[in-house]
């Protein structure tokens, strides 16, 4: 059998396993509610086992036939899919007529429509459902904001340059490439010790500092790709696009590297808007920018991309979530720290309730968002998920060293695609870090007030500058010094108190100048006070999504070719995400058919269903193939019987099954199918089947 046929068979089997998995999960949920019998679930599980065995067999057959590793097959798959995407203008390299610029892509008509759909699904699933406060902030951001957030100092990648041509490369990518080549070299296999060392280093590349990275590059003799020239030592390159705001040229600005900062700087207003109550979540969907050193991996690593970020503000002492029970039994693949360090190195399906109870996930709120993300990703959730294969998505916990020092817990939402497991969202408990950073830089308090159930005795720090003494010694600076003393953090104040108590001097900065405090200049002490509440900086739990990456993975999970014809590619997009919901075909180029087709199109538009009429004279089979290729889920064909009895055929893309439906009922029917209020099975049961003309 030829490889194309085997590949199609493999992809279809993969799709089947995904669907059967969905069915099992859905039946299990219904079993809980007493809606189905235990036997139905068992039967579905048995079926799942069988299709999994079938999948493994087909994968093996494919690998045997092609003599290629899985990764070579993946590349062939990707190139077939990208070809379909580019040919049908899902995306276009930007500025193509000028030779393009790496890292920039345009979304063409179907890609743009799908991006809207994914974004709108996200908005419905998160913002509308949770009543989040949505914001829209500018991308152009003055430097001070990004100094506070740490991006000006730390948002860097290590770069090396080709010493002769000046070409720039990412140091870690070059090192990874060299290590992988060494490990895969069949002609001169590395010694077991060398291989182990290379593997260990490969796992740590992301953690290396400039010096270690430079040493490793030298050790492995890494040269510039293509030219094979020597490379410079690695140095940090800031990934933000820089610009200048206003005509004077003295106000530095950057294009934001993430949308989150726009939410943080508005925290105070948002808290007030929410009636000063916690918890609440704010969200922003918008473009962010990263001036990547050398963008690779096509649509996955781009320089301008759409983010959808949520900042859930809560009391650090209470990270429970009122709606947690609604996801407690959702069981996504979790790849916890423990499982990553274990022998099997495989994620496991764990109900989120169990994961929180066992301390695998740090708190309910983080687990709640993991559950909501999982439902959003799938094929069939309340709003209709975006259509990823639930067996090819997982949540991977950050290892301790991967997390920033302030983070409490982090999980990446990863999707398996031809590039491997790709991070499509990050869910992090960032504690109070971001709000504290902006409070420190802006001198604006970023706190919330909590009223205790009953008054409590608490230790309160009191800082009382000796204003008389300060005034005498420091004259006009006295006020600024007193203010600076009063504004000290608890930590700084206690440190100063210690020094002063020991009879030493202690430094303080005020208005950019340094001053020396002596014992007696300020009184610092802890007092026990009865308080009816307290001010605190809220903790932030941040789910952050890359819309473009999710869309790309949807493309991969939905692409297949029809059995027996690897030229007929299909995207099995869910009706919610599909770029066009329905196509209308007059069977032949006749005025009486065209007129009815146009009228049907207008009726679909009135139902706000995006649709197209294809009146070209090609065969109906070719036209079906053409809409399959952009993933249109439904097609209406107007034929001569339509003229006689005002019915038309309705075709479903994946089964290619057709039914005959009265014209008058079609627009509302397609609307309900698209909204997933109605399944194709229900439609097929209600209306008479039609011979599958065009798809034989």
C-alpha radius of gyration, the chain, whole number: 30
Residues in region 40-59 near a copy of itself by CB under 8 A: none
Pairing relationship of beta strands 582-586 and 611-613 according to DSSP bridges: parallel
- Cβ proximity to a copy of itself: between 33 and 193 the closer is 33
Residues in region 284-303 near a copy of itself by CB under 8 A: 287, 289, 291, 293-294, 303
Residue 365 in contact with residue 385, Cβ under 8 Å? no
Nearest to 164 by CA among 228, 220, 215: 228
Least spacing, CB of residue 621 vs a copy of itself, in Å: 18
Exactly one of 325, 462, 513, 616 binds a copy of itself (CB under 8 A); which one?
616
Residue 98 within binding range of a copy of itself, rule CB under 8 A: yes
Q: Count of CB atoms within 10 A of residue 198's CB?
A: 18
- Cβ proximity to a copy of itself: between 152 and 500 the closer is 152
Exactly one of 32, 49, 60, 96 binds a copy of itself (CB under 8 A); which one?
96
Exactly one of 22, 212, 304, 523 binds a copy of itself (CB under 8 A); which one?
304
Residues in region 198-237 near a copy of itself by CB under 8 A: 237
Token pair of 331, please? 């069981």
Token pair of 45, please? 């599980």
Residue 108 within binding range of a copy of itself, rule CB under 8 A: yes
Q: How far is Cα 192 from Cα 187, in angstroms, rounded to an integer?
A: 15
Residue 168 within binding range of a copy of itself, rule CB under 8 A: yes
Residue 94 within binding range of a copy of itself, rule CB under 8 A: yes
* Site track for a copy of itself across 240-269, x = CB under 8 A: -xxxxxxxx--x-x-x------x--xx-xx
For residue 106, the SS3 value is: strand
Least spacing, CB of residue 490 vs a copy of itself, in Å: 22
Gap between the terminal Cα atoms of the chain: 22
Total residues in contact with a copy of itself, by rule CB under 8 A: 78
Q: How far is Cα 397 from Cα 427, in angstroms, rounded to an integer?
A: 9
Residue 440 within binding range of a copy of itself, rule CB under 8 A: no
Residue 177 in contact with residue 225, Cβ under 8 Å? yes
**C-alpha 594, offset from chain centre:** 43
Q: How far is Cα 233 from Cα 213, in angstroms, rounded to an integer?
A: 9
Token pair of 438, please? 């902006």
Residues in region 74-93 near a copy of itself by CB under 8 A: 88-89, 92
Q: How far is Cα 636 from Cα 276, in angstroms, rounded to an integer?
A: 53
Q: How far is Cα 478 from Cα 381, in angstroms, rounded to an integer?
A: 63
Q: Count of CB atoms within 10 A of residue 643's CB?
A: 13
Least spacing, CB of residue 230 vs a copy of itself, in Å: 18
Q: Which stretch binds a copy of itself (CB under 8 A): 283-291, 464-472, 500-508, 663-671?
A: 283-291
Q: How far is Cα 390 from Cα 126, in angstroms, rounded to an integer?
A: 19
Residue 128 within binding range of a copy of itself, rule CB under 8 A: yes
- Cβ proximity to a copy of itself: between 83 and 504 the closer is 83
- Cβ proximity to a copy of itself: between 530 and 608 the closer is 608
Q: Which stretch binds a copy of itself (CB under 8 A): 56-64, 129-137, 336-344, 471-479?
A: 129-137
Residue 569 in contact with residue 11, Cβ under 8 Å? no
Exactly one of 70, 72, 102, 404 binds a copy of itself (CB under 8 A); which one?
102
Q: Count of CB atoms within 10 A of residue 95's CB?
A: 11
Helix (H) or strand (E) segment spanning residue 360: none
* Site track for a copy of itself across 479-518, x = CB under 8 A: ----------------------------------------
Residues in region 133-162 near a copy of itself by CB under 8 A: 133-142, 144-145, 159
């Amino acid at each position: 059998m030829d490889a194309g046929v085997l590949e199609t068979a493999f992809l279809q089997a993969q799709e089947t396993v995904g669907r059967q998995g969905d069915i099992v999960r859905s039946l299990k949920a219904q079993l809980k509610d007493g809606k189905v019998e235990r036997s139905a679930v068992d039967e579905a599980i048995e079926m799942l086992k069988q299709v999994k065995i079938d999948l493994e067999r087909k994968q093996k057959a494919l690998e045997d036939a092609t003599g290629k590793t899985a990764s070579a097959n993946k590349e062939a798959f990707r190139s077939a899919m990208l070809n379909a995407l580019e040919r049908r203008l899902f995306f276009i390299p930007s500025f193509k007529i000028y030779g393009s610029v790496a890292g920039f892509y345009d979304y063409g008509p179907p890609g743009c429509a799908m991006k809207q759909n994914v974004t709108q699904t996200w908005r419905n699933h998160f913002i509308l459902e949770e009543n989040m406060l949505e914001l829209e902030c500018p991308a152009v951001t003055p430097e001070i904001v990004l100094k506070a957030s740490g991006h000006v100092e730390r948002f860097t990648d290590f770069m090396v340059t080709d010493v002769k041509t000046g070409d720039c490369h990412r140091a870690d990518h070059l090192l990874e490439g060299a290590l992988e080549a060494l490990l895969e070299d069949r002609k001169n296999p590395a010694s077991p010790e060398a291989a182990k060392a290379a593997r260990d280093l490969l796992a740590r590349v992301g953690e290396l500092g400039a010096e270690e990275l430079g040493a490793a590059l030298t050790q492995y003799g890494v040269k510039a790709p293509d030219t094979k020239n020597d490379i410079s030592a690695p140095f940090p390159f800031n990934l933000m696009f820089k610009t200048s705001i206003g005509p004077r040229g003295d106000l530095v600005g950057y294009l934001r590297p993430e949308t989150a900062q726009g939410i943080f700087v508005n925290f105070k207003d948002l808290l007030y808007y929410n009636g000063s109550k916690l918890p609440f979540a704010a969200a922003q969907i918008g473009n962010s920018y990263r001036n990547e050193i050398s963008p690779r991996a096509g649509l996955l690593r781009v320089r301008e991309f759409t983010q959808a970020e949520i900042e859930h503000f809560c009391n650090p002492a209470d990270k429970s979530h009122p709606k947690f029970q609604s996801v407690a039994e959702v069981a996504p693949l979790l790849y916890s720290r423990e499982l990553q360090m274990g022998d099997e190195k495989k994620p496991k399906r764990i109900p989120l309730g169990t994961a929180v109870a066992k301390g695998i996930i740090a708190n309910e709120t983080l687990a709640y968002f993991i559950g909501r993300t999982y439902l959003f990703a799938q094929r069939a959730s309340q709003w209709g998920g975006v259509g990823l294969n639930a067996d090819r998505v997982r949540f991977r916990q950050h290892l301790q060293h991967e997390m920033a020092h302030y983070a409490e817990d982090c999980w990446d939402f990863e999707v398996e695609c031809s590039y491997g497991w790709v991070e499509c969202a990050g869910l992090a408990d960032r504690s109070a870090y971001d709000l504290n950073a902006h409070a420190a830089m802006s001198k604006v308090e970023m706190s919330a007030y909590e009223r205790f159930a009953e008054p409590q005795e608490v230790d309160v720090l009191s800082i009382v500058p000796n204003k008389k003494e300060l005034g005498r010694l420091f004259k006009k600076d006295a006020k600024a010094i007193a203010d600076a003393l009063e504004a000290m953090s608890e930590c700084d104040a206690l440190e100063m108190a210690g020094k002063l108590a020991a009879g030493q001097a202690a430094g303080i900065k005020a208005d950019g100048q340094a001053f020396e405090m002596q014992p007696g200049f300020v009184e610092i002490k802890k007092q026990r006070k009865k308080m009816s509440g307290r001010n605190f900086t809220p903790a932030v739990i941040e789910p952050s999504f890359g819309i473009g990456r999710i869309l790309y993975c949807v493309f991969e999970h939905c692409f297949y070719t029809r059995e027996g014809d690897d030229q007929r590619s299909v995207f099995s997009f869910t009706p919610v995400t599909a770029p066009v919901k329905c196509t209308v075909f007059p069977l032949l180029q006749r005025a009486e058919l065209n007129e009815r087709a146009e009228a049907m199109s207008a009726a679909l538009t009135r139902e706000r269903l995006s649709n197209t009429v294809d009146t070209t004279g090609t065969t109906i089979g070719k036209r079906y193939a053409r809409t399959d290729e952009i993933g249109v889920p439904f097609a209406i064909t107007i034929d001569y019987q339509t003229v006689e009895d005002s019915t038309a055929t309705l075709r479903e893309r994946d089964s290619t099954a057709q039914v005959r439906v009265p014209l008058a009922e079609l627009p509302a029917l397609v609307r309900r199918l698209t909204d997933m209020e109605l399944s194709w099975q229900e439609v097929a049961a209600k209306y008479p089947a039609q011979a599958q003309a065009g798809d034989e």
